[in-house]
Structure 1
């Protein structure tokens, strides 16, 4: 059974009930009119939202294109003239003649493998540190790859984003560091037979044997370990210190070199 509002009243007695309205049809018509108006307003709101979303997306696309255009118009972070100037400055420093092109190339590869992303090339690693740096550097390093240009690349592999400061302010220090790294790499390539022979020779001299033991204790101390620590502990300590002192993140190149030398010494120990 339906409900007729025309017969509804809040009075409890039938004779006291009053008709609510006699114009229900007019109310229903007004209700339909309001419903149509609400639907129309909803359509207008949807159109406004669609228009606002389209404008917002267009603005975002323009903003995303602006940095790309600025990068394309911006001058390179490293130029060919800079690379040549740095290479010439390095070649005039003491100890330059001891550097070797092939060893510098091996040094770059070794530094990449010792970085936080060993699977990346030097260009990719530099681009992660500073967008565009690696691409600009390799574009400026013209072929053929001479010893001077390779030394500049090795410096970037060693110092990361701080390389330009070192090359401009202290090229002698850069050559010194490259020398030390080459020397450490040569020591690391010694065969186990050579190491055993040198150990036997050092043991034949009482004081030389004590000196070798002293340097081993010093290497453990640099890595913050007790003498006799396992290779697993040595590796863990090395990784922890590399994350703290690596030049790519602003660490000290001197400390990093000491850590690397100590690690190489302990890992090649029989």
Structure 2
């Protein structure tokens, strides 16, 4: 399509018949080009309309829900497999739930629940797991949840391939968590006991009580109130029973501070 230069030469004089034939060919070519362009334009418009209809139908159709990654039957099968392993009877549902809570608090960030942690790792994994477990937690489902809290997204592999290893590690972690909880409880009891003893026993009279109190805080006479507060905060962090400090040392620091600010 288009003008063909072979049919025209500016160097040769043309007859009126040749000139008329040439004009007819040019006119014919132009009209053909216009018709072709018009056909192409209509085809582009048709394709654009089809594309727009396809987009609208995609928006209007509900998105197909992805299949659940974990199903209730799968959780039930895992629970049965765990219950048949050595050491299962030594696991306790309450201790497993405590273990899940501690593993969540030790993760980053600590404010996330198990469901939120798993959903962050694999979209929808935690939601599917909790839906498969259901609203009522049993020892078997608690063990499955503890396995996911311990192994994360790889828990399904361990539950499928080595349930005996899962029970063994859950028992080990359960024992460790129970010991930490026992130590924390004993520490709280000692702290409360020390506080009651301090309330019952008045401070012994001393001729130079202020100097002794400053010495407990590592200060000398003439220390400012701000220096006393800073020393108290530093020593409290060091001697607090919850961080492994001595209850008696913590009590002496507190008594010295109270005497200085009184």
TM-score bracket for this pair, using the shorter chain length? 0.3 to 0.5
Q: Which has the greater radius of gyration?
A: 2
Q: What TM-score do you get using the length of structure 1 for normalisation?
A: 0.46
Provide the TM-score with structure 2 as the length reference.
0.47
